[in-house]
Amino acid sequence: MLKKPQTSARKLPTLQRQVMDVSTLDLVTTAYLQSDQSLPLLIQPALDGVDLNAWAETNRAWIETELGRHGGILFRGFHVPDVATFEQFIDAVSGGALRYQERSSPRSQVSGNIYTSTDHPASESIFLHNEQSYNLTFPLKILFYCVTAAQEGGETPIASSRRMYQRIPHHVRQKFADKGYMYVRNFGSGFGLTWQEAFQTEDKAAVEAYCQANDIEFEWREGDRLRTRQVRQAVIRHPQTGDMVWFNHATFFHVSTLRLEVQQMLAQVFSEEELPNNTYYGDGSPIEPDVLDTLRQLYAAETVAFPWEKGDILLLDNVLTAHGRSPFVGPRKIVVGMADPYKWAEA
C-alpha cells in the first residue's frame, strides 16, 4: 500500500523574502498528484514569497533523498519567471547543466546548456525513454521547465524504470541482461538528424575520434553517409539507491515502435539495414515482436501524465524514470536541462 501524502507545512505568517529561514522544510508542502501514485512527488510553497532556488540549495540533500525515493519531483506554484531562473535552479540541485552531445532528437539551444525539450512536430508522440541511455556518458538528472503550457495535450508522460524492471518477465529481462542491446544509426538518408547535427561538427576526424572514445563502431559510406553501431547494457544498478532498473533505448529506437504508416513508408524506401534507426540484441540478432509488444504494453501500464502549468519545474532521476511527450494543440514551450554526468563503465 502506498503511503499517504506527507506534509511538513503548518500555518505560518507571511514573511518578507529577505528574512526567510530557507533551511526549514516548513516552507514547503509535499503531496502526490494522485492518491494512488507516488510519482511524481509534488512540492509547493507553504506561504507566499518562498525563493525556490535559495530553498533548494539549502535543502539539496533532502531533495536528493526524495528524488531517489520517488524518481521524480514536480515543483509547482513557485515564482520561476524565466529560463535564467530555471538554469540557476539546476545549479542549486546539481553540478550544473550539461552540453547536449551525441544527439538523437532535434533540439534548439535556448540559453547556455538549456534547450527546447524537442523540436518534433506537435502532432507526433514521443515514446518513453531514459535520456541518452545509449551514450557512454549519460545524465543522472533531467529537468523540464514550463514556459508556456499547450492549449491541449503536450504532457510529458513519465514511468518508473524500477517498476518496469520488476514487471518485465524474467526470461525477457535475463536475455537483455546477458546480451545487452545494439543501436544502429544510418546518417545521411534524409530522415532524422545528419551526422553533423548529431555530433555537432563538420569534421569527420572529430566524429571518428568521438566514436573511438565512446565504443561506437563506425563506417563511412558512399554519398557522405555514416553508419554507427553501439552495444549498451539494457539494465543498470542505480548508483545511489542500488535498485535494478530497466534503462535503455531498445524499445524507443526499434522501427516497430513507430506509427504503422511511418513503418510502411520506411519499408518502401529502405532495406532493414539502411533504416535511420533500429535496435537489436547486443549480438545483432533480432528482438522478437512479442517481446517488443510486451515492453510497450508495460510502459503504457506504468505511464503517469499530468497537465503542465506555467512555471512548473519537473526534476527527474533519469535512471529511475523514463519520459516522453504527448501530442499537443496551440503554442507550447517546455525547455530542458541535463545534469550530473555518469559513465556506463561505473555502472
Structure confidence by residue, pLDDT tens digits, 2-60: 333 333 333 333 333 333 444 567 899 999 998 888 999 999 999 999 999 999 999 99
pLDDT averaged over the chain? Answer: 90
168 & 44 share domain: no
Instruction: Report how far apart, in Å, the C-alpha atoms of 305 and of each of 23, 87, 224, 274 are.
Output: 31, 24, 41, 35
Same domain for 21 and 108, yes or no, is: yes
Between 185 and 112, name the one with better pLDDT. Answer: 185
- Domains: count for the chain: 2
Same domain, 208 and 270: yes
Q: Does residue 338 surpass a pLDDT of 60?
A: yes
| CA geometry: angle 248, 119, 85, nearest 5 deg | 90
Q: Is residue 144 part of a domain?
A: yes
Return the percentage of the chain with pLDDT > 90, whole number: 80
Query: The CATH number of the domain where 228 resides is what?
Result: 3.60.130.10
| C-alpha cell belonging to residue 344 | 556506463
Q: Which residue has the cell 512548473?
A: 312
Give 252-305 pLDDT, tens digit per residue: 999 999 999 999 999 999 999 999 999 999 999 999 999 999 999 999 999 999
Same domain, yes or no: 43 and 145: yes
pLDDT band at 117 (very low <50, low <70, confident <90, very high): confident
Instruction: Please say if the pLDDT value at position 75 is more than 80.
Output: yes
Is position 1 within any domain? no
- Residue 322 DSSP code: E
Q: Do 71 and 316 contact (CB within 8 A), yes or no?
A: yes
Report if residue 332 sits inside a domain: yes
**Is 327 part of a structural domain of the chain?**
yes
List all residues 6 or more positions away from 154 whose beta carbon is below 8 Å from its beta carbon: 122, 308, 325, 326, 327, 328, 329, 332, 334
Is residue 259 domain-shared with residue 329, that is, in the same domain?
Answer: no
Domain that holds residue 319: 17-120+134-150+304-346
Domain co-membership, 83 together with 193: no
Q: Flag whether 177 is in a domain.
A: yes
**Residue 200 pLDDT > 60, yes or no?**
yes
**Residue 204 above 60 pLDDT?**
yes
* pLDDT for residue 9: 34
| Residue 140: predicted pLDDT | 97
Q: Looking at residues 307-323, what average pLDDT do you find?
A: 98
Query: Higher confidence at residue 117 or residue 272?
Result: 272
pTM greater than 0.85 (yes/no): yes
**Assigned domain for 9 exists:** no
Q: Which residues pair with 299 in a beta bridge?
A: none
Residues 295 and 310 in one domain: no
pLDDT above 90 (res 191): no
Question: What is the reported pLDDT for 109?
Answer: 78
- Give me the pLDDT at residue 248, please: 97
Q: Which of 10-24, 51-65, 145-159, 321-335 has the lowest mean pLDDT?
A: 10-24
Residues 93-132 as b/e (b if ≥16 CB within 10 A, e otherwise) read: bbeebbebbbebbebeebeebbbbbbeeeeeeebbbbbbb
Q: Is residue 229 domain-shared with residue 186, that is, in the same domain?
A: yes
Let me know whether 318 and 273 are in one domain.
no
Considering the domain architecture, whether residues 183 and 230 belong to the same structural domain is answered as yes
Distance CA 126, CA 120 (A): 8
What pLDDT shows up at residue 112?
A: 85
Instruction: Identify whether 126 is part of a domain.
Output: no
Q: Do residue 170 and residue 140 come from a single domain?
A: no
Q: Which of 5-9, 99-103, 224-228 has the lowest mean pLDDT?
A: 5-9
Task: Please report whether residue 250 resides in a domain.
Answer: yes
Q: What is the mean pLDDT of residues 340-346?
A: 85
Residues 173 and 283 in one domain: yes
